[in-house]
Every structure is written in structure tokens, then in C-alpha cells.
Chains A and B, each alone.
Chain A
Amino acid sequence: MEVLDIIKPENQVFCKSKLMTDTPLSYCPGCGHGTAHNLVMEVIEELGITADTIGVAPVGCSVLAYEFMNIDMSQAAHGRAPAVATGIARTWPEKYVFTYQGDGDLAAIGTAETIHACNRGENIVIIFVNNGIYGMTGGQMAPTTLKGMRTSTSPYGRDVETMGSPIKMTELVAHLPGVYFATRHAVHTHKHARKAKKAIKKAFENTRLKKGLSFVEIVSNCNSGWKMTPIESNEWMADNMFPYYQLGDIKVNGKLK
């Protein structure tokens, strides 16, 4: 690819959205959160819905999402973002409401809120960043930690006999009638980021059409928590996470794939 091809607007997946603030990201270098943030902001910018969008930040690495996203945001208690989003979406049915949550937040402490917001078909978007670990608290086991994966609370590897199996949230919620769109993506390459952005855009368009809940999982890396270099972590993710958390659409337009 020539330089002139790269700078064509449709190929630019890495420029900073105007809706990202100038606050330096608090994420570790190499982490996928920055790209995921930027994609969500690009979509909101392109759809021209800034004045009608309210985001809900979680507890976890992205607790400070509101420092980086230049939109109105409410920061929720750990796991409760789908309930907070419900409160907003029900009282402002014409607004675009999204949550941005990690795996510990969404799939452990917030499982009830996630399942029930999905089951009610709340007209919101859930962006679920799954890196298989608790990043902020220092690399503990998450509900999505892979079998045999070492973390600070599974130092000899996740034993599924005693610790349970990694939970596939997107497949799980896709079976609920309230979920209109369930899809899984990654953001570690330009190609993947472009696809993820397309899915995020579709999710927000579903909100406009009042179709119910759109659930976009982004399988991402945690180079610090996984104790790898950023490049190693992305390779490890492709080799180990993707076979278990397969990328692609799981439910589109209310129909399971």
C-alpha cells in the first residue's frame, strides 16, 4: 500500500477523533482501549449525534473514559452501567445511550444488570471490552480468563474444575429476545479496527431505529496484565483468545447466525 492510499479517509483508522480530548490516555502503551475509545468517538462524530449521546463509564481500567471522551458521561458503580444506562434511556427515549465496560465489570459483578438490560431490550449500546483479566487491580482472574491462563489469583493457571470455565457473554446474551445485534470484534490491526467501527456504527443506528439492545464485544489485549510486550500480547491474543472467542456476528437484525 502506497502512502497516498493510506491517507485516504476510508483507510484512516488511526487518526484521533475530534471527540477525543487532549488528556493523555491513562492506559498502558500497547493497550487496545485507546483504539476502542477512538472508534466509538469517531462513530458518534460521523453520525453527528454528540448533543444527543450520553455515555456510561464503568469501574475498571476505563473508569476514566469520561476524561478522554468529549461527550456527556455518567460514571457508574462497579457492574451497574447497564442499570444506569436504563435509567437514562427510559427517561430520554430519543437519546443515544451507551455503556463502555470491561469483562470483570460486565461479566462478573454486573452479570445480573447485563442480562436483565439485555432481556428487557433496553434501547442502548453496550461496548464490552474483553481482555480476559482484571487490569486495573493488577492482573487478577476474570470470568473471561482462558482455561489454564495464569493471573495473580490463578498463579498456576485457571483450573476450570474449581474456578469455572471462561464465560462467553456475547453468545449468552444473543439468545435473549431483547438483543437485536450481538457481535464480536478486535481492534489490534487496521483491518480489525475498521470492521469493529462498522459494527459500532450499526449498533448506534439500531438505537436510532429503536431496535433494542446492541452488544458489541471487543476482544482486546492486556500486555501489562498478561506480562508480555504489546506485540507479543497481540500475537498471543490471536493464537489463544480468538479460537475461544471467535470473531464475527452472532446475532444480526434480531436473528441468530
Chain B
Amino acid sequence: MAELKLMKGNEALAEAAIRVGVDAYFGYPITPQSEVIEYLMTQRPEERTGMVVLQAESEVAAINMVYGAASTGKRVMTSSSSPGISLKLEGISYLAGAELPAVIVNVVRAGPGLGTIQPAQGDYFQSVKGGGHGDYKLYVLAPASVQEMSDFVEDAYAIAYKYRAPVLILSDGLIGQMMEKVVLKDQKERLSDEELIKKYDDWATTGKTDRPRNVITSLNLQPDKMELRVRKLSKKYEQMEKEDLRYEKINCDDADYLFVAYGSSARIAQKAVQLGREKGIKIGLLRPITLFPFPKPPLFELADQVKGILSVELSAGQMVEDVRLAVEHKVPVEHFGRSGGMIHTPEEILEALEEKIIKNGSIRHHKTRESSIL
């Protein structure tokens, strides 16, 4: 039976990991995501489902434990917050290169550097533009509620195993720390070792039987072979764009202006849509649910309908670049967002739309456009 509970985003994610049958979690404490491992440890998942939970000596060790377990086909997860994700990027690049399924969670805080523990969305570039070294991308899911913190765990594993690729759940300190009601799904059985070996015997390193040996590596010293590997990865990313793009349109049908916002900013922008409409400004919201793939086609279409777009993000202006690329200069696109751990209000967002877009109705040349840095 599905269960209704009041939970923090981080706890809902951890509970979902147990319920979808994750085999192992490796993590390291960092604010604002420590509740994930704390909750898991409290729940005794080794008794509930046989799930392994281990506190590693560092984020670097944790992501490499993920690499080890993932190379045997096990469903494995790690989570951290911004500075910790920077440390994991080496391992994430290896996961992508070695084509391993895994789920990584980033509960973003403000940076750069040690920054602050307050919420931010300044890891957009790091998440969707590679982050680690080499030609790879991550499939990135951006939850905007505690419910989605729970639901996206299962969705993330579906994608990770469909493509044999690492998937990132990009949350932030606001979604991770806030409490909301959440419908928890029923417990699913973990795969038995026998089932797992049968299912992934063509690649997983579970011990060589009478089949040829399985090897997990991202190394190809011969450039012609390495190029083939890069092309194979690129094909996956193209397929993700075709088959697994996710977004939500809110009040877009009659919109004259558009907000583009994900995660916590989408929640705040939704209120700004309502405030604008009360004043007679027809605003819509396009919420990317996946940041890669990015909702380029719906944005390109909406650009024919609306007079201007405000990209709203808790950052100094990162996603705005992708919005501009998607609309190909059909309409003005500006950025608004607080950063450094400050959180914008719906009123501030609406005011920014009026100032930056509505007052300056036409497309400006890039030389006269104000800096996107607030």
C-alpha cells in the first residue's frame, strides 16, 4: 500500500532508495544533504532489504565505491552537495567512460569554493556541461518538490540502466531540507545475485564463468578505438534527447511572457506567474524537468508566441545561456536570480520581468544587452 508521510526532501529520497531496491549507498557527510546517509543508517536497510550503506572516508572514495559496485551490475547511489560533487567529478567521468549505471544526487549549496550551506542553483554548468573531463554528458533530473525527490529515484535508475550511464538528480538545499507530504511507493524486491548475473552477464564483472571475461574500463590507448567509444556515448546522448526529454508547461497556452525555471526556482516562479496574472500580465512557466536533455523544442516553439523570456535561477546566470541558444534570438531572453544562498521572492521575479523584459520590448544587440550577472 502506498503510504502518505510528512518528510524532508533528503529523507524522502533516502526512503525511496530503500523502497526501489537500491543495493548499496556510499556517502560522506556534507551540509545540506547529510540527512540522506543519516536517515539510511537509522532505517537499518541491511535488515529491511539487505541494502549496504557505508560512510566512506571521502567523496572521492564514495564515488569509487559506487564505480566498484556498479561494475558488478548492482544498483548503487551516492549523494553529496556542491563541493563534494566537485570531488566526485573524476569518478563521474570514469563512470560515463566505462558506461556504468549509477545515480548521483547533488543537493546544491552556494559556491564557489566552500561558499555557504544555503540553497543555490549555481551547479548548472557543472551538471549539464560535463563537469568532469572528456566528452560525456549526464542525464540530469531536477526535482521541484519532496514528492519528486522520492519519485525521481526510480526514474533515475530506469534511465541509468536503459543507457548504462550515470544519472544525476540535481536538487538544492531548499528542496532537500523542506518538509512536504509525500506519497511513498510500495517496497520493491532487490534483484537476487542469480537474477543479476543472468540479466547483466554480457558486461558485469561478477566473476568469469564459461563466458569470455568481462572488463570494465574507460581506457582505450588507441585513438581510433577511443573515438569509437566517444561516438557510442554521443549516440546515447542523442537518443536521450529524442526519447527521454521531460518538462512541464504551466499556464503557457495564452502566455505573452515566459519564465523558465527548474527545481526550487520553478516553485517560486509559479507564484510569480499567479501574481502577474492578477495584475493582468499573461505569464507562463516552462519548467525543465530534465536539464540534459534540455527542453529546446518547446522553447523554440514558445518563442514564436511570447514577447520575452526571463530565465530564473538561484545563480549569477547559467541556464540563461541554454535558453538563449534554444530560442535562437527570436525574442529577448534575460536572467534573473539571487545567488550566494539568498532566495528570490515571487515579487522580485515579477519585478525583474517587468523591468528587464516588458519595458524593453525589442531584441537588443548583444553589445548593448546588459550583463546577465545581476
A positions within 8 Å CB-CB of B: 50-54, 56-57, 63-64, 66, 70-77, 80, 83-88, 90-92, 95, 112-113, 115-116
Contact = CB atoms under 8 A, between A and B. Distances in A.
Given A83-B68, A87-B65, A70 B57 contact: no
A20 to B, nearest CB: 12
A86 B69 CA distance: 8
A50 B211 CA distance: 12
Interface stretch (B90-98, B154-162, B342-350): B90-98
Interface in B213-239: 213-219
Contact of A84 (B24, B68, B90, B215): B68
B56 interface: yes
B208 interface: yes
Q: For chain B, give the interface size range.
A: 35 or more
B214 A113 contact: no
B368 interface: no
B23 A91 contact: yes
Given A73-B213, A74-B216, A75-B217, A88 B207 contact: no
A53 B215 contact: no
Interface stretch (B70-78, B134-142, B256-264, B291-299): B70-78
B65 A84 contact: yes
A73 B205 contact: yes
B273 to A, nearest CB: 45
Contacts of A112: 57-58, 60-61
B6 to A, nearest CB: 32
B193 A92 contact: yes
B68 A85 contact: yes
B52 A77 contact: no
Given A87-B76, A91-B69, A116 B57 contact: yes
A51 B193 CA distance: 13
Nearest to A90: B52
A80 B64 contact: yes
A163 to B, nearest CB: 25
B216 A86 contact: no
B67 A66 contact: no
B206 A87 contact: no
Contacts of A92: 72, 193, 206
Interface of B: 23-24, 26, 52, 54, 56-58, 60-62, 64-72, 74, 76, 90-91, 94, 98, 193, 205-209, 213-219
A83 B23 CA distance: 17
B24 A113 contact: no
A123 B328 CA distance: 56
A75 B98 contact: yes
B207 A83 contact: no
A76 B57 CA distance: 17
A210 to B, nearest CB: 16
Given A75-B98, A90-B24, A90-B54, A54 B65 contact: no
A83 B65 contact: yes
Contacts of B94: 77
B205 A74 contact: yes
Nearest to A78: B90
A75 B207 contact: no
Given A63-B219, A72-B215, A86-B68, 15 more contacts: A54-B72, A71-B208, A71-B213, A72-B205, A73-B215, A75-B98, A80-B60, A87-B24, A87-B68, A90-B54, A91-B72, A92-B72, A92-B193, A95-B207, A113-B64
Contact of A88 (B58, B71, B209): B71
A53 B64 CA distance: 19
A39 B271 CA distance: 68
A86 B206 contact: no
Contacts of A73: 205, 213, 215-216
Contacts of B207: 50-54, 71-72, 95
Output the residue of B94, B208, B219 with the most chain A CB within 10 A.
Answer: B208
Contacts of B67: 74, 76-77, 80, 83-84, 87
A54 B207 CA distance: 6
B208 A75 contact: no
Nearest to B70: A87
Given A72-B215, A75-B216, A91-B23, A83 B61 contact: yes
A183 B369 CA distance: 68
Given A84-B71, A88-B72, A75 B24 contact: no
B215 A80 contact: no
Nearest to B67: A84
Nearest to A72: B205
Contact of B64 (A57, A63, A84, A95): A84
